[in-house]
């Protein structure tokens, strides 16, 4: 996932904000070219707190606002209007362009051209666009997003979830609380799950120590996300000389590439010998070993931190709400009746699914998503020129009373009793939409449903410290150690 680069890091500054001036014919959809104008207005904002910045921009400027003045990158248009988001998404052509990450394109197609090839070759889906993206995505989507693609991994994902529950039980302190580095434990669970889905390999993350291969991969992914926002938003000096940040970034990507490829190589050999069941095997059959290897790499790049932060955030939110946990526990018990979870069970658990949707509405791990316009487009009555990066602000829309009844309240029921709770279908899109929607969505959902189900079955979760604020670091996540008290059920 490109993570819509603006939010994929910390500490950067949005250098200036510009309010759009209404165009000459505000009520006409046929606005003339060149009416995209702005009044400069200075502001210094940190990306770590961009959630609050976006809320205040919405309040101050209305349904859209232009951000300009970022050295070396196109203007951005922040859109806070769900109907406009729907119109832009529905008008997409066959190869939508998500704002590219030039630094990643440079890594893939210049620095490591020997592996990824030129831009038009088999470069994967992250930071790849046009025909090359389209050809690659078509091959991978067939395997990754087909009906039942994820459900067939329920047992493997369950096995890892059981191991996580046991480890969490063992690593609690004397007050039955999770350790300070609990988020890292959740990263391990996420990597271990992805390893089993993608490569049919147990990576041994729970036994891993500092400096081990899997911990190096986890750290490298984290460094990648932390650096990418800095490189994309700050003045792009890395284009002129290799800055310290850029060197860290390249080293992290090299680690991700080499560790993943070691596992991919091993898994490909296993496939040949045992015909083992894995996503990689399915991809090899559908599209050949090269596409399979590059797809696995992209998935490891963006599929670990996203899912782990979403799970950590969900566990934290549940620990604040014993009533929600009890309802969830009753639903799970009614469906499973003491037998182990099997494929398809979560389809009988609407409240479980709703809890996760509700967390991702209020605290989406990727707070905004975007598109780079391929043609001039009218948005909110402004003529927005081709090339502008349009950022859909679903964190702001998801928390807006305009789109969700009692938006500030955690109410999973809103996703079940839809007639009681109105909402706009494009106001909360945590996995994006359309042809470029998250490729790992089905796997992420399966992983999240299974782990939350197992944790609620095993423990009553409580939280006895100051409430945690959220920050973008590099995902949107609770800021502080997540010290959950886990009481055996």
Q: Which is nearer to ligand HEM, 18 or 116 (CB)?
A: 116
Distances (CA, A) of 331 to 190, 248, 310, 451, 456: 25, 46, 21, 15, 11
Interacting stretch for ligand HEM, rule CB under 6 A, among 53-61, 166-174, 233-241, 363-371?
Answer: 363-371
Is residue 474 at the binding interface for ligand HEM, with CB under 6 A as the rule?
A: no
Q: Which two tokens stand for residue 302?
A: 């963006």
Interacting stretch for ligand HEM, rule CB under 6 A, among 64-72, 159-167, 227-235, 304-312?
Answer: 304-312
What phi, psi does 159 have (nearest 5°)? -60, -45
Q: Which residues pair with 65 in a beta bridge?
A: 78
Is residue 224 at the binding interface for ligand HEM, with CB under 6 A as the rule?
A: no
Smallest separation (angstroms) from ligand HEM to the CB of 432: 2
Is residue 438 at the binding interface for ligand HEM, with CB under 6 A as the rule?
A: yes
Is residue 367 at the binding interface for ligand HEM, with CB under 6 A as the rule?
A: no
Interacting stretch for ligand HEM, rule CB under 6 A, among 55-63, 114-122, 265-273, 365-373?
Answer: 365-373
Q: Which two tokens stand for residue 100?
A: 């590219």
Is residue 296 at the binding interface for ligand HEM, with CB under 6 A as the rule?
A: no
Q: Which one, of 176, 212, 172, 171, lies nearest residue 191 by Cα?
A: 212
Beta carbons of 460 and 489 less than 8 angstroms apart: yes
Is residue 280 at the binding interface for ligand HEM, with CB under 6 A as the rule?
A: no
Contacts of 324 (CB under 8 A, 6+ apart): 318, 355, 410, 412
Report the distance separating Cα 103 and Cα 414, nearest Å: 40
The pattern of x and - marking residues 84 through 123 that bind ligand HEM according to CB under 6 A reads --------------x-------------------------
Among 302, 373, 397, 450, binds ligand HEM (CB under 6 A): 302
Report the distance separating Cα 483 and Cα 458, nearest Å: 17
Q: Which two tokens stand for residue 180?
A: 């300070």
CA count, 13 A, side-chain hemisphere, 353: 12
Smallest separation (angstroms) from ligand HEM to the CB of 89: 8
Among 23, 178, 325, 369, binds ligand HEM (CB under 6 A): 369
Report the distance separating Cα 425 and Cα 83, nearest Å: 9
Is residue 398 at the binding interface for ligand HEM, with CB under 6 A as the rule?
A: no
Q: Which is nearer to ligand HEM, 27 or 147 (CB)?
A: 147
Contacts of 59 (CB under 8 A, 6+ apart): none
Smallest separation (angstroms) from ligand HEM to the CB of 17: 24
Cβ atoms within 10 Å, residue 423 = 19
Smallest separation (angstroms) from ligand HEM to the CB of 141: 8
Interacting stretch for ligand HEM, rule CB under 6 A, among 67-75, 181-189, 302-310, 408-416?
Answer: 302-310
Interacting stretch for ligand HEM, rule CB under 6 A, among 39-47, 240-248, 432-440, 477-485?
Answer: 432-440
Do the annotations mark residue 438 as ligand-binding?
yes
Interacting stretch for ligand HEM, rule CB under 6 A, among 45-53, 181-189, 339-347, 440-448?
Answer: 440-448
Among 82, 283, 384, 444, binds ligand HEM (CB under 6 A): 444
- Burial class of residue 248, CB neighbours in 10 A (0-12, 13-18, 19+): middle
Among 123, 195, 440, 478, binds ligand HEM (CB under 6 A): 440
Among 214, 278, 307, 477, binds ligand HEM (CB under 6 A): 307
Is residue 77 at the binding interface for ligand HEM, with CB under 6 A as the rule?
A: no
CA dihedral 313, 316, 322, 328 (to 10 degrees): 40
- Burial class of residue 92, CB neighbours in 10 A (0-12, 13-18, 19+): middle
* Total of residues contacting ligand HEM (CB under 6 A): 27
Positive/negative CA dihedral, 166, 167, 168, 169: positive
Is residue 282 at the binding interface for ligand HEM, with CB under 6 A as the rule?
A: no
Smallest separation (angstroms) from ligand HEM to the CB of 165: 20
Q: Tell me the three state secondary structure of residue 486.
A: strand
Report the distance separating Cα 108 and Cα 87, nearest Å: 32
Q: Which two tokens stand for residue 218?
A: 């986890």
Positive/negative CA dihedral, 99, 305, 437, 36: negative
Report the distance separating Cα 384 and Cα 375, nearest Å: 9
Q: Which two tokens stand for residue 202?
A: 């147990």
Q: Which residues are documented as binding site for heme?
A: 438
Please state the residue numbers annotated as binding site. 438
The site for ligand HEM (CB under 6 A) is made up of: 1, 98, 125-126, 137, 194, 298-299, 302-303, 306-307, 310, 365-366, 369, 430-433, 436-440, 443-444
């Amino acid at each position: 996932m490109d993570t819509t680069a603006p939010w994929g890091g910390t500490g950067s500054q949005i250098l200036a904000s510009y309010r759009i001036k209404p165009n000459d014919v505000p009520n006409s959809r046929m606005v003339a070219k060149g009416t995209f104008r702005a009044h400069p207005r200075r502001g210094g904002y940190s990306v770590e707190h961009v959630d609050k910045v976006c809320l205040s921009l919405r309040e101050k400027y209305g349904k859209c606002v232009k951000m300009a003045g970022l050295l070396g990158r196109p203007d951005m248009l922040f859109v806070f209007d769900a109907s406009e988001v729907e119109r832009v998404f529905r008008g997409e052509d066959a190869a939508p362009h998500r704002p590219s990450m030039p630094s990643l394109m440079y890594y893939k197609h210049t620095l490591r051209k020997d592996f990824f090839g030129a831009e038009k070759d088999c470069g994967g889906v992250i930071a790849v666009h046009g025909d090359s993206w389209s050809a690659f995505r078509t091959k991978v989507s067939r395997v990754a997003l087909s009906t039942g693609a994820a459900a067939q991994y329920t047992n493997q994902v369950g096995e890892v979830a059981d191991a996580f529950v046991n480890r969490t039980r063992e690593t609690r302190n004397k007050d039955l609380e999770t350790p300070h580095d609990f988020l890292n434990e959740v990263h391990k669970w996420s990597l271990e799950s992805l390893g089993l889905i993608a490569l049919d390999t147990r990576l041994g993350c729970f036994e891993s120590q500092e400096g081990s291969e899997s911990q190096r991969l986890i750290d490298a992914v984290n460094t990648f996300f932390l650096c990418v926002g800095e490189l994309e938003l700050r003045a792009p000096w890395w284009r002129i000389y290799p800055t310290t940040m850029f060197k860290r970034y390249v080293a992290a990507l090299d680690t991700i590439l080499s560790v993943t490829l070691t596992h991919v190589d091993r898994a490909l050999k296993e496939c040949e010998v045992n015909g083992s069941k894995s996503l990689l095997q399915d991809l090899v059959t559908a599209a050949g070993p090269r596409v399979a290897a590059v797809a696995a790499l992209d998935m490891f790049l963006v599929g670990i931190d996203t899912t782990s932060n979403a799970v950590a955030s969900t566990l934290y939110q549940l620990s604040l709400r014993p009533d929600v946990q009890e309802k969830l526990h009753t639903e799970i018990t009614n469906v499973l009746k003491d037998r182990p979870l099997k494929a398809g069970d979560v389809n009988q658990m609407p409240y479980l699914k709703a809890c996760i949707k509700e967390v991702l509405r209020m605290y989406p791990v990727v707070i905004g998503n975007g598109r780079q316009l391929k043609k001039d487009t009218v948005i909110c009555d402004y003529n927005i020129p081709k090339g502008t990066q349009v950022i859909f602000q679903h964190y702001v829309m998801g928390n807006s009373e305009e789109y969700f009844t009692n938006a500030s309240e955690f109410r999973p029921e809103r996703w079940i009793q839809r007639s009681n709770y109105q909402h706009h279908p494009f106001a909360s899109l945590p996995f994006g939409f359309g042809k470029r929607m998250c490729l790992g969505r089905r796997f992420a959902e399966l992983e999240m449903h299974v782990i939350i189900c197992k944790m609620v079955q095993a423990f009553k979760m409580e939280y006895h410290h100051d409430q945690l604020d959220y920050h973008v670091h590099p995902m949107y996540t609770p800021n502080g150690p997540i010290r959950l008290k886990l009481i055996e059920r």
